[in-house]
Amino acid sequence: MHGTCITTRRQRVLRPTVSIALALLLTVAWAQREVTVAITSDPLSMDPHVAATTQTVTTVNHIFDNLVQRHPVTMAIVPNLATSWEISEDRIYVFTLREDVRFHNGQVLTAEDVVFSFDRMLQPGFESMGNYVRPIIESVVALDELTVQITLHAPYAPFLNRLPTFYIVPAAYVQEVGDDAFARAPIGTGPFRFVEWVHGEYWTFEAFEDHWAGEPEVKRATFRPIPEASTRIAALLSGAVDIIEQVNLVDIPRLEADPSIRVEATNDNRFYFYAFQSSRPPFDDPRVRLAVAHAIDWDEILWIFEGYGFRVAAPGLQTDFGYSAYIDDLEPLLPAYDPERARELLAEAGYPDGLSITIEAPRGQWPKDAELAQAVASELARVGIDAEVRVSEYAVYLTDVYRGGRIEHMGFFTMGNPLFDPDHLFTVHFDPDGGGAYYNSPELTALGKRARLVTNPDERAAIYGEMMRYLVVNQPYLWTHGLQQVYAMRSDIDWRPRPDIRMFMEEVSFRD
């Protein structure tokens, strides 16, 4: 009998029972590793080259990888599909790719997929991403199966900071099925594979077991578009969802009092401001703009954000490149609350008896947007500026003011900085070739274009310091505040929000 296994009838009866119990345990364990997330809206597409809205980026980040990514805390550039890179002549970048990275269909990633992805972004129909790439990139070529060379038209110092928004897609699959089918059934190398998308209801991913960084702890992730903040909270409290974004400030105490819920907040990379219509009186005079800056007591106003707002007196945040190099020199120049100085500046500019202006703002798009406009108007009244607040629904505001560039005197706006580099601020707001609708300065334009060409970090930080000093002294915008982004989740979920407000479910773990 030695070496022979004898199975009794009792053992044969028990084994199916044990197998069923084990299967049930595995099913429960799997269910406990599922996460449902409520965000504000649907993505525009599952094609990562079509659009760059926050919701779209949140979605496609799960399916696709980039050459480089950002560290979840410091936001520094770190390797991703590329393990290393070398820069020569300030404009030639050679990237070495990871070995044996696989797409979700089993295809192995090669340099040709990288070349195809960049070439695709340059084609008509992909302007959302291509507009950023086209003026910068001269060529993308594969040197061998795991080496890619990207050559720029000219040195562009923030180039690496642009790459986390450029996703790599499988060349053979996209060419086989076409763009429309690819958007309906996307395949990438990301930590999750696409399952389904029911527009307006949900979209679902499953963990990719062969991901190069290892299989995520979350086995299934479902996103639901829930526009109303109160509905998102109700879904969280009922257990219908596990994580929600953009928690209203008034709801935080109630959620913090619930032991089954955990609230997390982080300073994000977005700041708010009022743009002045500086092309005509009265705000074509920098003294009037500076008078407005001196007239407002921000320590008093920011209390409307219940401790989740912070002052941003200049267009830079701690996570931005160069911030630590220029902020100490900049702080003495920041306009302090000084109503008497505001009155003096108005008189010097020819308004000794004050003046009348309009302030335009949306209602309900950004936290306390309309309330802030009223508070600013009250502050301005104390120095003789009669401000009429015009509030409109966001759809109207977006068309007529935000995109239309048709503010009369002051308009409320916000800006995120996905580059974590002042070049994005310059490109969007102050580069006449980029977009700046409300302010144009040859001196500022020259500084911004020079900074792009300087690859020495210290020299570039010094140029950005000059730009920031110019912006503070001339006040083309009234810089106001930043906000903490507030999230809520089940107490057994371990996840920390990122400063770039991207939600990566591979960064989620579970507390036992």
- Rounded-to-integer distance, Cα 45 and Cα 63, Å: 12
Strand 82-88 and strand 92-97: the pairing is antiparallel
The answer to whether residue 14 scores a pLDDT higher than 50 is no
Note the pLDDT of residue 61: 93
Whether residue 473 is predicted with pLDDT greater than 70 in this model: the reply is yes
Neighbour-count burial for 45-80, b at 16+ CB within 10 Å, e otherwise:
bbbbbbbbebbbbbbbbbbbbbbbbbeeeebebeeb
407-446 pLDDT tens trace: 899 999 988 888 899 998 888 888 887 665 578 889 999 9
Cα distance between residue 457 and residue 77, in whole Å? 14
What pLDDT is stored for residue 132 in this prediction? 72
pLDDT interval class at 29 (50, 70, 90): very low
Cα–Cα dist 480/270, whole Å: 11
List the CATH code of the domain at 44-191.
Answer: 3.90.76.10
Note the pLDDT of residue 168: 97
Q: What is the pLDDT of residue 365?
A: 77
169-175 mean pLDDT? 98
**Mean of the per-residue pLDDT values of the chain:** 89
DSSP state of 102: B
Question: For residue 208, which amino acid is it?
Answer: F
Return d(Cα 362, Cα 473) in angstroms, integer. Answer: 28
The pLDDT-based confidence of 185 (bands split at 50, 70, 90) is very high
pLDDT of residue 405: 63
Q: Does residue 4 surpass a pLDDT of 80? A: no
Residue 48 pLDDT level (bands cut at 50, 70, 90): very high
206-235: per-residue pLDDT in tens?
999 999 999 999 999 999 999 888 999 999
CA distance 13 to 35: 37
The answer, yes or no, to whether residue 17 has pLDDT greater than 80, is no
The pLDDT value recorded for residue 436 is: 59
Residue 426 DSSP SS3: helix
Pick from 68, 100, 64: which is nearest to 81 by CA?
68
Which stretch of DSSP H or E encloses residue 108? none
Express as a percent the part of the chain with pLDDT over 90: 68
Q: For position 501, what pLDDT does the model report? A: 84
pLDDT at 202 over 60: yes
Structure confidence at residue 302 (pLDDT): 93
Residue-wise pLDDT for 491-510, tens only, equals 999 999 998 888 999 999 99
Residue 358 and residue 387 in contact, taking contact as beta carbons nearer than 8 Å: yes
| Beta strands, E only, 115-173 | 137-144, 147-152
**What local confidence, expressed as pLDDT, does residue 21 receive?**
46
Whole-number pLDDT of residue 360: 94
| Strand partners of residue 153 | none
* 203: β partners: 197, 223
- In this prediction, residue 54 carries a pLDDT of 76
d(CA 143, CA 112): 9
d(CA 291, CA 343): 7
> In the predicted model, what is the mean pLDDT of residues 20-47?
71
Distances (CA, A) of 376 to 250, 356, 380, 439, 478: 21, 14, 6, 21, 11
Instruction: Give mean pLDDT, residues 104-113.
Output: 98
Give whole-number Cα distances, 367 to 303, 307, 423, 448, in Å: 13, 13, 26, 31
pLDDT: which is higher, 398 or 80: 80
pLDDT for res 32: 61
pTM over 0.95: no
Q: What is the mean pLDDT of residues 456-472?
A: 94
User: What's the confidence (pLDDT) of residue 187?
Assistant: 98
- Torsions phi, psi for 31 (to 5 deg): -60, -35
Q: What is the mean pLDDT of residues 135-155?
A: 95
Greater model confidence, 14 or 46: 46
Which residues of the chain form CATH 3.10.105.10? Answer: 267-485
Decide which of 3.40.50.150, 3.20.20.105, 3.40.50.720, 3.10.105.10 is the CATH code for 267-485.
3.10.105.10
474: exposed, middle or buried (C-beta count within 10 Å: 0-12, 13-18, 19+)?
Answer: middle
Identify the residue with better confidence: 77 or 32.
77
**What is the per-residue pLDDT for 437?**
59
Residue 12 clears pLDDT 50, i.e. is over it: no
Least confident residue range of 10-19, 42-51, 358-367? 10-19
How far is Cα 221 from Cα 35, in angstroms, rounded to an integer?
5
Residue 42, classed as helix, strand or coil, is coil
Confidence of residue 44 (pLDDT cuts 50, 70, 90): confident
Mean pLDDT, residues 336-346: 98
Specify the pLDDT at position 43: 87
Give the residue-averaged pLDDT of 52-64.
86
User: Above pLDDT 70, what percent of the chain?
Assistant: 91
According to the model, what pLDDT value does residue 42 have?
87
Is 10 a residue whose pLDDT tops 90? Answer: no
Q: Determine how β-strand 261-276 pairs with β-strand 355-362.
A: unpaired
Q: Backbone phi, then psi, for 3, in 5-degree steps?
A: 85, 0
Q: In the structure, what pLDDT confidence band is assigned to residue 286 with cuts at 50, 70 and 90?
A: very high
Q: Is the pLDDT of residue 144 over 80?
A: yes
Q: Is 21 exposed, middle or buried (0-12, 13-18, 19+ CB in 10 A)?
A: exposed
Q: In the predicted model, is pLDDT for residue 311 greater than 60?
A: yes
Encode pLDDT of 236-282 as tens digits: 999 999 999 989 888 999 999 999 999 999 888 889 999 999 989 99
Return residue ranges of the chain for CATH 3.90.76.10. 44-191
Interval 293-301 mean pLDDT = 96
Which run of H or E residues covers position 209? none
